Amino acid sequence: MTTHDGIVQPPRTATWLVVLFASEEKDSLQGDLLEEFSDLASRSGAAVARRWYWRQALHSIVHLFSSAFRKAPYSTTAAVIAGFLLGRVLFPLPEKAIFAVLERYRVFDSHFDAYVFFATYGIAIAHVVTSMLMGCFVALMTPRKEMIATITLVVLLFSMTSAASLVWVARGNTSMLWSMVPWNFLDWLAMLAGAAIIRSQRSASRTLNSRT
């Protein structure tokens, strides 16, 4: 809990999450949450108010997500499909580039450990960066609904990975599963982080414009 000039402030992370998902109603909604939080903090104490605020923020996100998707289903779906297709184009590129460099300098012959490192972690790290760019791209296509479109894309990719995982398990290839899944989680997190960066930047510039 942060305090500023003796006034109890609501949890910043919870506020940030709400702002990520709210669109037109952002200012009024934040004001409502702050008003009730301050009232509750003065009546029941900071800890109770903080718990209430977190509960409200998390429940609100679910409703704001579904409401935003309902408002613009076609543009959101189009952004998700475009993001998915972009991923299909971009994802193999780092792999090709890294192997081209490794071949060019004959790393396999002279520095085998370095070859193994770049062929595994190098490609995986490049995929994380690519995922972040995909998140940025989808967010740029969906003004005010950045997180909604990106989360939908992540859910789609999660479903596909889950289906693939079931196939691997059925075939007894669990080593493949354990080597892929943690990196996939990192890719999805990077995608969401990319969208959150675009969303935060846009939100800040909108606030600045409305005050000037």
Partner 1 sequence: MSSRDYLGEFEHLIVLAVLRLADQAYGVTVRQEIENRTTREVSIGAVYATLDRLEAKGYVKSHLGDPTPERGGRSKRFFEITAKGLSAVNRTHRALESMSKGLDAIRSYS
Phi–psi pair at 150, nearest 5 degrees: -70, -40
CB of 150 to partner 1, least distance (A): 19
| The binder of partner 1 chosen from 46, 54, 71, 75 (CB under 8 A) | 71
Q: Which is nearer to partner 1, 165 or 203 (CB)?
A: 203
- CB of 73 or CB of 182, closer to partner 1: 73
CB 46 within 8 A of CB 10: no
Q: Of 2, 15, 22, give the one whose Cα is nearest residue 54.
A: 15
Tell me the closest approach of the beta carbon of residue 65 to partner 1, in angstroms: 9
Q: How many other CB atoms are found less than 10 A from the CB of residue 77? A: 13
Q: Which is nearer to partner 1, 21 or 137 (CB)?
A: 21
Verify binding: residue 165, partner 1, rule CB under 8 A: no
- Given the rule CB under 8 A, which of 26-34, 87-95, 154-162, 170-178 is the region that contacts partner 1? 26-34
C-alpha 1/C-alpha 5 separation (Å) is 13
Q: Does 161 bind partner 1 (CB under 8 A)?
A: no
- Distance, CA of 65 to CA of 88 (rounded, Å): 26
CA nearest to 176, candidates 165, 192, 160 = 165
Residues that bind partner 1 in the complex, under the rule CB under 8 A:
18, 21-22, 24-25, 27-36, 38, 55-56, 59-64, 66-67, 70-71
